[in-house]
Amino acid sequence: MKYLMTINGESVGENLEQIDIINPGTNEVVGSVPNGGEAEAERAIEAAHNAFEGWADLTAYDRASYLKKLNDLLIENKEALGRVMTLEMGKPITQSMGEVMYGASFLEWYAEEGKRIYGQTVPAHLPNKRMQVWKKPVGVVAAVTPWNFPLAMLTRKMGPALAAGCTVIMKPSSESPLTAAMFMDLIEEAGFPKGVVNLVTGSSSKIVGKIMEDERVRKLTFTGSTEVGKLLIRQSADNVKLLSLELGGHAPLIVLDDADLEVAVQGAIDSKFRNTGQTCVCANRIYVQAGIYEAFVERFSEKVKELNVGDALDESVDIGPLINQDGLEKVMRHVEDAVGKGAKVVSGGHRKSETGLYYEPTVIRDVNKSMVIMHEETFGPIAPVQKVETVEEAIKLANSTEYGLAAYVFTENVARGMKLIEKLDFGIVGWNDGAPSAAQVPFGGMKESGIGREGGAEGIEAFVESQYVSIGVK
Ligand code: SIN
């Protein structure tokens, strides 16, 4: 199906060159979007700029009613959206439908949270003054999103932005823009005023380049690689654009001797193999204390062997294809490097089929920090397990990375768990929990994993500025 961009309520890009979107499981073209560039970015900026005042002047209650309508439409269209998502990027269908619900939850939550942007009254130091802090929407926001969560990363950004009174330009990844285009149709159906939300597809360098240089866009919110994030930080300097960045990760998962084995194994599966290992918060390195190491490796690999790899449209499938050839090659390189340096494959370890980009869910043991997989983000279904002797060793290894997004800890001992987590430099920690993400809590990283938080109360603060007003009274 041929999808178009939407700018100021109009379909745009009919006559532009089209980008074909390829199903990574079958190599078939499943749709196309226009290859937009600077001209379309300029039109979208103009539209969002013109729509801003009217949208910001609405009450939070009016804005909430649009967001709730959109939330309802997402839920009604869960199957259709999920199917397109699976076709364009290979996420197993039950997980795609799960992502639609996850995506909708940001709209529902921020529809309400927009009503609680309170501001402050501050006691004055003089009798003839009254001091207040007002909250204003930052203005036009550009939301640049990755291919691995084609819907939820949009709603996690635009939900709070719209609730706060900002207008939005959405720029999805060119690997998976079809879900965003379908989502845009639902935004139109929900009746948002023209220009409040705009969708631009095509060349990231041209579109984002234009956005970065235009001072009318006050904020960029981006999810993607640390490398691109650093470039955006440099580009934002010229007009002091506000940034929220959710960047790369390399999550450690620590299992202590006193962990509940079944809980730890299930947590490792949930964290490692969600979206075929292609999330920023996937466990990338597993550190297991010596006393439970053999039992963990055995039970974990038994369960991993049960994971079903195949056609992502089949509801019984757990592991779909990887997004593209580069993704597959990286996974193969990580396994090859580890095995070459002495690691042993316990389960999996091979490409699954020659047609689609499938790789078997894989457990490798006896890994160590010299192996590439222990410091480079894998983005695939490979679980390397390293033995550690002490809690201190686990902490040291866990923190020995430039990333600080997510970490996981499995222990039944509350005091050990608390002391360990206090020492971890990560923005999100799952304690006996392999799936901590939710709309109502902050998501984001320390160190080179990013700037700011999405989700929860912090997620809406990112779209408002404080304006201090000093009032002279007689
Ligand atoms: C991501 O991979 O960036 C998002 C994962 C999540 O929201 O849990």
Q: How many CB atoms lie within 10 A of CB 129?
A: 12
Residue 472 CB partners (closer than 8 Å, separation 6+): 128, 129
Nearest-angstrom CA–CA distance, 105 and 99: 10
Q: What is the b/e burial string over 25-55, where b = at least 16 CB atoms within 10 angstroms of the residue's CB?
A: bbeeebbbbbbbbbebbbbbbbbbbebbeeb
Kindly give the interhelix angle for 60-76 and 178-189, rounded to the nearest 10 degrees: 130
The CB of 225 under 6 Å from ligand 1? The reply is no
Q: Is the pTM of this model over 0.85?
A: yes
User: Which residues are CB-contacts of 19 (< 8 A; sequence separation ≥ 6)?
Assistant: 32, 33, 34, 35, 174, 177, 201, 202
pLDDT for 398: 98
Whole-number pLDDT of residue 355: 81
Nearest-atom index, ligand 1, CA of 278: 2
Segment (H or E) for 330: helix 325-340
Q: Which two tokens stand for residue 234?
A: 């440099």
H/E segment holding residue 232:
helix 226-236
Closest C-alpha to ligand 1, atom 3: 280
Ligand 1, residues 96, 106, 153, 245: which to mutate, most atoms within 8 A of Cβ? 153
Distance CA 112, CA 460 (A): 11
CA dist 348 and 56 (Å) reads 53
* Cα of 284 from ligand 1 centre, angstroms: 14
Q: Count of residues for the chain?
A: 474
- Give the dihedral of Cα atoms 422, 425, 431, 436; nearest 10 deg: 140
DSSP assignment of 335-379: HHHHHHTT-EEEE--SB--SSS--B--EEEES--TTSGGGTS---
pLDDT score, position 353: 76
213 included as an active-site residue: no
188 tagged catalytic: no
Distance (Å) of CA 164 to CA 9, 52, 66, 463, 466: 21, 11, 13, 6, 12
Report the nearest atom of ligand 1 relative to the CA of 443.
7
Question: pLDDT of the chain along its 474 residues, tens only?
Answer: 999 999 999 999 999 999 999 999 999 999 999 999 999 999 999 999 999 999 999 999 999 999 999 999 999 999 999 999 999 999 999 999 999 999 999 999 999 999 999 999 999 999 999 999 999 999 999 999 999 999 999 999 999 999 999 999 999 999 999 999 999 999 999 999 999 999 999 999 999 999 999 999 999 999 999 999 999 999 999 999 999 999 999 999 999 999 999 999 999 999 999 999 999 999 999 999 999 999 999 999 999 999 999 999 999 999 999 999 999 999 999 999 999 999 999 999 999 977 899 999 999 999 999 999 999 999 999 999 999 999 999 999 999 999 999 999 999 999 999 999 999 999 999 999 999 999 999 999 999 999 999 999 999 999 999 999 999 999
Separation of CA 281 and ligand 1 centre (Å): 6
**Environment class of 402 (CB within 10 Å of its CB; exposed 0-12, middle 13-18, buried 19+):** exposed
Is any atom of ligand 1 closer than 6 Å to the C-beta of 273?
no
Q: Is 222 exposed, middle or buried (0-12, 13-18, 19+ CB in 10 A)?
A: buried
| Residue of the CA atom closest to atom 6 of ligand 1 | 437
Span from the CA of 191 to the centroid of ligand 1 (angstroms): 29
> Which amino acid residue places its CA nearest to atom 5 of ligand 1?
279
- State residue 231's pLDDT score: 98
In angstroms, the CA 232 to CA 206 distance is: 13
Residue of 280, 282, 360, 377 marked catalytic: 280
Contacts 24+ apart (CB under 8 A), 232-238: 232/208, 233/451, 235/209, 236/212, 238/212, 238/213
Catalytic-role residue among 108, 113, 246, 448: 246
State in Å: Cα 379 to ligand 1 middle: 12
Query: For residue 130, what are the β-bridge partners?
Result: 471
Confirm if 363 and 304 have CB atoms less than 8 A apart: yes
In angstroms, what is the span from residue 105 Cα to ligand 1's centroid? 14
Q: Is the CB of 173 under 6 A from ligand 1?
A: no
Q: Domains along the chain?
A: 5-247+449-472 (3.40.605.10), 251-438 (3.40.309.10)
Is 432 touching ligand 1 by the criterion CB < 6 Å? no
What is the C-alpha to C-alpha distance for residues 95 and 370, in angstroms, rounded to an integer?
Answer: 34
Could you give the CA distance from residue 146 to residue 129 in angstroms, rounded to a whole number?
Answer: 48
